[in-house]
A and B are shown apart, each in its own frame.
Chain A
Amino acid sequence: MSGEDKFDVIIIGAGPAGTACAYTLAKEGKNVLVIERGVTAGSKNVTGGRFYTYALDLVEPGLWKDATLERKVTHEQIMMMDGNQSITIDYSNPLFNKEGEMPQSFTILRAVFDEWFASKAEEQGAVIACGIKVDGLIEENGRITGVKAGGDEMFADLVIAADGVNSMIAREAGLVPELSDKTIGVGVKEIIELPAKTIEERFHLKPGEGASLLMLGCTEGIHGGGFLYTNNESISLGCVFTPSEAAAHGRQVHDIFQDLKMHPSIYPLIEGGKTVEYGAHLVREEGYRGIPKQLYRDGLMVIGEAAGFVLNIGYTIRGIDLAIVSGVAAARAVISGSNPGPAYLEELKNIKLLPSMKAVDGYFDLLEIHRLYETYPKVAGGVFNKMYSISGETPVSIKKGIWGVLKDNKVSLWQLVKDGIRGYRSI
């Protein structure tokens, strides 16, 4: 093999994980090639973007100031829905967004963000080849030595798979089994354009501020939920379902999503907007326990969502920051000069990625409680209904009202206690 056909590292996929890794390696003078299937980085992405800023600071302090971000998240909201009724909790804390300091989190549009990030890695000297699909790995004596793409072969000391949730490369290498319909969600999302001023009025935001809203009870009892993020001049609205349950439910995912859009608490937020993009994608739902047992083998490492680094813990969904962090960890492992596989695992611990995911592992159990997706939003709605119904009649006591609602929804005291304990344990 000639020098022309050999790199220090080949990274498959120019998403946040692959690009963060390429950036860090190229900055240290490594000869890096990133192969991206999309025509540009981000062009194949449909993530409804929210991003935690600390991750970009790990790549390069202050880099976030230059990034194409949408709005800093100042309002964290959770909405429970049942039929036409809804309960919303809105949490805001100026400490997350102190004047002159790095805001904690931003909404982003991935197509824009990824392209910007890739251009930054290119500035550091990484070679990014877009519009090319990697067909497979080259293996010699049990070691991965390169990739096949089109008719071409390209070699490297190390190949890094950053090819996302449905990683063909990690599967081919035998690191990740076929995805199971129990452990992944199907997400659908629309980007709905609205003037910045309208968004700010509807969500009570100042210019540059944004809201993140997660919804429960909007999936007709199917394991899943909805999300809404405010961008500068658009809203990302979507929902995620467990596909096998959705199929058994006999309703199209798209129809349930349409109902969500028409919900009396959601429609006024998007009214008059124009849908400019529709996408569907898979997302891992297992958190820590979804991480493959083996994240590397000789000549190959897996990073980002390909390695299961996604967290859906009900009140927040994280993936982009974890992807970036894992990319940095992989790069540091390579730079350290020691055996990259074990060094990568060590870095994942040092950089607090594995510990962070492990700490919230219990949420998976909480989110497994089926009553969370229909019964409890109904119960909550019923209780609020009792509290706020004033007709001049003598009201039943709240206590009685709660028991009535529980009975109506066939929730026994025993179930409630059991779910309560399970919920408490899991957090």
Chain B
Amino acid sequence: MSNVIVCFKWVKAEDDLRIDSSTLAVDLSKSKGKISDYDRNAIEAARIASEAAGSETVALTFGSADTKTALKDALSRGPKQAFWVNDVSAENADGFVTANMLAAAIRKIGSYSLIVCGEGAADTYAHQVGPRIGALLDIPVISFVKEMRIDGNRLYAVRKLEDSLEQVEADLPAVVTVLPEINPAPIPGLKAVLEGGKKPVTEFKIQDLDLEDGDTSRKTDVVSFKGCSMSRKKILINEGDAKERVTALVAALKKEGVL
């Protein structure tokens, strides 16, 4: 079996997001990057699948210059090599542009039997990229995958739907978008981290890829990007004895409709 390609996204870590409570503007400047949480499970799923089939895992990402750190992290999680479409436009690309880039890079990489993506990115969770790659490469797509198994040239997967599980099969090559529950994403050990820093990375520029006019223009427009802030009512009940305070508290909670 030929390579398993796993796509991942480098996103801003949500811990360090700052939201201005009056304007709801989001300050990303203090945020560090991280591999999208769900994609960590996807990388491990790809590693398990390729190990079972005796093939190699290859990591692929589309990101701007600061994605460099991500490659080391991704490679410490098992893939033998990484491909990186390096362009600043990744920072505000939508699913359409990202899928175009990744599909073009996958054609460039050449041989593959399986493409693994996370079900959605930790920042947008738009479910766009995986299915679009499948359409662009004209191969089957299986989404919401919670289990998968490869037997020869056939992929067997279990999809988790809202109220049921669905068993599906497809011929390879195919695209799967996997749920985090497909397998845990172990934290890489010391040796894996050291090896990750030494594995090869191939960098593509946009002009290296066979793209058509319009492939790099987004289909969606972001009208606004705002934080969500919860304001407290700051009601202080500190008058009277305990009984009066409790009565006042219960009355206040009733008034707010929480009791």
In this assembly, does B187 line the interface, its C-beta being within 8 Å of a C-beta of chain A? Answer: yes
Name B18's closest neighbour in chain A (CB-CB).
Answer: A276
In this assembly, does A149 line the interface, its C-beta being within 8 Å of a C-beta of chain B? Answer: yes
Q: Which residues of A contact B187 (CB under 8 A)?
A: 131
B190 contacts A154, C-beta separation under 8 Å: yes
Name B193's closest neighbour in chain A (CB-CB).
Answer: A129
Most buried by A among B32, B190, B197: B190
In the complex, what's the smallest C-beta–C-beta distance from A119 to chain B, in angstroms? 10
Q: Which residues of B contact A150 (CB under 8 A)?
A: 189-190
Name B191's closest neighbour in chain A (CB-CB).
Answer: A152
In this assembly, does A244 line the interface, its C-beta being within 8 Å of a C-beta of chain B? Answer: no
B190 contacts A149, C-beta separation under 8 Å: yes
A132 to B190, CA, bound (A): 6
Q: Looking at the complex, which one of B189, B194, B197 makes contact with A151 (CB distance below 8 Å)?
A: B189
In the complex, what's the smallest C-beta–C-beta distance from B161 to chain A, in angstroms? 35
A422 to B191, CA, bound (A): 55
Q: Which residues of A contact B190 (CB under 8 A)?
A: 35, 129, 132, 149-150, 152, 154
Chain B binding surface, main DSSP class: loop
Q: Looking at the complex, which one of A33, A40, A127, A149 makes contact with B189 (CB distance below 8 Å)?
A: A149
A-B contact count (CB 8 A): 26
Interface size on B, residues (CB 8 A): 9
Q: Which residues of A contact B191 (CB under 8 A)?
A: 5, 152, 154
Q: Which residues of B contact A33 (CB under 8 A)?
A: 194
Most buried by B among A40, A127, A129, A130: A129
Name B187's closest neighbour in chain A (CB-CB).
Answer: A131
Q: Which residues of A contact B189 (CB under 8 A)?
A: 132, 149-152
Q: Which residues of B contact A35 (CB under 8 A)?
A: 190
A35 to B194, CA, bound (A): 10
In the complex, what's the smallest C-beta–C-beta distance from B78 to chain A, in angstroms? 15
Q: Which residues of B contact A5 (CB under 8 A)?
A: 191
Contact with B along A27-60 (1 / 0, CB 8 A): 0000001010000100000000000000000000
Most buried by A among B32, B194, B197: B194
Name A7's closest neighbour in chain B (CB-CB).
Answer: B194
* A:253-290 near B, CB below 8 Å: none
In the complex, what's the smallest C-beta–C-beta distance from A210 to chain B, in angstroms? 20
Q: Which residues of B contact A152 (CB under 8 A)?
A: 189-191
A40 to B15, CA, bound (A): 14
* B:102-129 near A, CB below 8 Å: none
In the complex, what's the smallest C-beta–C-beta distance from B7 to chain A, in angstroms? 23
In the complex, what's the smallest C-beta–C-beta distance from B10 to chain A, in angstroms? 15
Name B13's closest neighbour in chain A (CB-CB).
Answer: A39
Q: Looking at the complex, which one of B32, B188, B194 makes contact with A127 (CB distance below 8 Å)?
A: B194
Most buried by B among A33, A130, A132, A151: A132
Contact with B along A130-160 (1 / 0, CB 8 A): 1110000000000000000111101000000
**Chain B residues in contact with chain A, CB under 8 A?**
32, 187-191, 193-194, 197
**Chain A residues in contact with chain B, CB under 8 A?**
5, 33, 35, 40, 127, 129-132, 149-152, 154
Q: List 23 A-B contacts (CB under 8 A).
A: A5-B191, A33-B194, A35-B190, A40-B32, A127-B194, A127-B197, A129-B190, A129-B193, A129-B194, A130-B193, A131-B187, A131-B188, A132-B189, A132-B190, A132-B193, A149-B189, A150-B189, A150-B190, A151-B189, A152-B189, A152-B190, A152-B191, A154-B191
